[in-house]
Structure 1
Amino acid sequence: MKKIISSGLVASVALLAFAYICILIMPVLLPKVAEEYYSPAFVNDESRNMFYYVHPVLLAFGLAWFWNRFKSLLKGNALMQGIEMALIYAAIATLPSLIILYSAINVSLLTVGSWLLYGFFQALIAGIIFSRMHV
């Protein structure tokens, strides 16, 4: 339990930093995607912005639990284990939810693809951290 909490905290900080960096670079790298966030399909209520920062913390602890439970199935060095975990997370959690979102709200496939990559890299970062901390 101690490893789940400690690695969850470290991953939370890393994923929060990643989220903040993504906010800063997304308008530069993907200006068309950034424009979509001004669409009426998205809630424009600043009181909900905190959930963008709560999500990485909840995700980090959920992935820490998952890692602790299934780490013996992930083989290779820290990078390979992180990639495998990221692929599992993307296939099981991210992709199915994005298909539903794409069917329900008016966003481009590019936006959905950016969300898929974002989720993949979140799990990759967390997986590398867990691999190094759960030895």
Structure 2
Amino acid sequence: MKKIVGSGLIAGVVLFVISYGGLYLAIRFFPQLFLDYNNPLFNSDGSRDVMFYLHAFIISLALAWFWERFKGLFKGGFVLRGLEFGFVYAVVALLPVMWITFSAMDITISMVGSWFLYGFVQAVVAGVVLAKINP
């Protein structure tokens, strides 16, 4: 359990930095994509903002548990293992969630595509970090 929490927190810090740096760059280079967020669906009163900022740590702890459980199935160097880990997560978890989200909510395909790509990158980065510190 200690290994899962420790590696999950380290991966969380890495994801936090990459996620918010990536968000800054995405808004700067793809501003048109973010115009879609001017929608009442995404308006918040601010009371749950901390949940948004904790996301990197929540996903990292979940992925650290998943990694600990199934790391023996991934072969190769740590980068290849991280990439395969991200691919498995994307196919098993992200694809079904993005499918139901798109079918149930009034959002654009570009939003869903960017969320899918974002989740895949998060899982790959977490997988690489986890493969390096918890082989």
Q: TM-score range by the shorter chain?
A: over 0.9
Alpha-carbon separation, structure 2, partners of 1:93 and 1:56: 16
Once the two structures are superposed, the pairs formed by residues 111-122 of structure 1 within 5 Å of their partners are 111-122=111-122
4+ residue segments displaced more than 6 Å? none
- TM-score between the two structures when normalised by the length of structure 2: 0.93
Residue 31 of structure 2 is matched in structure 1 by 31
Encode CA deviations 1:1-48: one digit per residue, 9 max, x unaligned: 222111111001011112211221121232122111111221332222
Q: Secondary structure at the match of 1:46?
A: coil
Alpha-carbon separation, structure 1, partners of 2:89 and 2:133: 19
Shift of 1:81: 0.5
Alpha-carbon separation, structure 1, partners of 2:58 and 2:120: 16
Residue 133 of structure 1 is matched in structure 2 by 133
Residue 72 of structure 2 is matched in structure 1 by 72
Residue 5 of structure 1 is matched in structure 2 by 5
Query: Quick one: which amino acid aligns to residue 115 of structure 1?
Result: W
Alpha-carbon separation, structure 1, partners of 2:35 and 2:105: 15
Residue 102 of structure 1 is matched in structure 2 by 102
Q: Matched residue pairs, number?
A: 135
Shift of 1:83: 0.7
Identity of aligned residues (%): 39
- Gaps spanning 5+ residues in structure 2: where? none
Shift of 1:63: 0.5
Encode CA deviations 1:62-112: one digit per residue, 9 max, x unaligned: 100110110000011111111111011111111111111111222211111
Residue 123 of structure 1 is matched in structure 2 by 123
Alpha-carbon separation, structure 1, partners of 2:29 and 2:108: 16
- Gaps spanning 5+ residues in structure 1: where? none
Query: Quick one: which amino acid aligns to residue 94 of structure 2?
Result: T
Residue 55 of structure 2 is matched in structure 1 by 55
Alpha-carbon separation, structure 1, partners of 2:71 and 2:10: 17
- TM-score between the two structures when normalised by the length of structure 1: 0.93
Comparing 59-68 with 37-46, greater Cα deviation is found at 37-46
Shift of 1:57: 0.7
